[in-house]
């Protein structure tokens, strides 16, 4: 079956659950990728992705088609991620190295080491992790703009629509975000050291 988005959305708006499943399958990887980049954590990304699709299901009737569906969707993803980031700011973090207290005493946590494999794959994953951690250190506005442009590949016009701001604002935030990201990566030194040791 070919994917005709306009037709699928119209069916979704009239309550067709099969059409909604098709829509989810078409966008689930893109939504997960963006939520993961924003939140830096697989479990949170899965939870927020699911929350995004629940919101879409509940509010698709309000989609008027004034902008493209993907613009509407990514605005929803961005806002949901920002809500999650703000909620987290008050949450207490726990160390994975600290033993867990049980009624039988302290128990060390056992974590699965899934980094085994070919050296190139391990190096690539390590670089991605360093870059992801650096992106997560950026202020929210810069993080969003870097993800939308440099990871998701949106145009300036699309980003202005998603973020509901001018193209000038988009360009200036992107420039500041890239400079900040470069500074974070340079100050950590890990990435540069890994790339020059090859």
pLDDT number for residue 179: 92
Nearest-angstrom CA–CA distance, 120 and 1: 38
* Cβ 119 vs Cβ 64: under 8 Å: no
pLDDT number for residue 1: 42
Query: Other C-beta atoms within 10 Å of 48: how many?
Result: 24
pLDDT number for residue 41: 84
Domains of the chain: 5-88 (1.10.1740.10), 121-196 (1.10.10.10)
pLDDT number for residue 101: 65
Nearest to 79 by CA among 52, 60, 106, 58: 52
pLDDT number for residue 46: 93
- Would you give per-residue pLDDT tens digits along the chain (198 residues)? 457 888 999 999 888 999 999 999 999 999 999 999 888 888 889 999 999 999 999 999 888 877 888 889 999 999 998 888 888 776 554 555 566 666 666 666 554 444 455 666 677 777 778 888 888 888 988 998 998 888 888 889 888 988 889 999 999 999 999 999 888 888 876 555 655 555
Nearest to 161 by CA among 51, 80, 70, 62: 70
pLDDT number for residue 136: 86
pLDDT number for residue 93: 47
Nearest-angstrom CA–CA distance, 189 and 182: 11
Nearest-angstrom CA–CA distance, 148 and 162: 9
Can you say whether residue 94 is alpha, beta or left, with left for phi > 0 and alpha for psi between -120 and 50 degrees? Answer: beta
């Amino acid at each position: 079956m070919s994917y005709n988005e306009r037709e699928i959305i119209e069916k979704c708006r009239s309550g067709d659950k099969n059409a909604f499943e098709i829509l989810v399958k078409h966008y689930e990887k893109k939504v997960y990728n963006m939520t993961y980049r924003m939140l830096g954590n697989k479990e949170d990304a899965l939870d927020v992705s699911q929350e995004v699709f629940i919101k879409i299901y509940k509010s698709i009737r309000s989609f008027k088609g004034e902008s493209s569906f993907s613009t509407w969707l990514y605005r929803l993803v961005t806002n949901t991620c920002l809500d999650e980031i703000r909620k987290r700011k008050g949450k207490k973090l726990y160390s994975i190295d600290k033993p867990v207290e049980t009624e039988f005493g302290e128990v060390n946590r056992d974590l699965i080491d899934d980094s085994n494999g070919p050296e190139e794959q391990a190096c690539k994953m390590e670089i991605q992790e360093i870059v992801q951690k650096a992106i997560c250190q950026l202020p929210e506005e810069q993080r969003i703009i870097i993800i939308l442009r440099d990871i998701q590949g949106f145009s300036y016009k699309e980003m202005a629509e998603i973020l509901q701001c001018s193209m000038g604002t988009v360009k200036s935030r992107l420039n500041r975000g890239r400079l900040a990201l470069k500074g974070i990566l340079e100050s950590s030194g890990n990435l540069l050291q890994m790339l020059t040791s090859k």
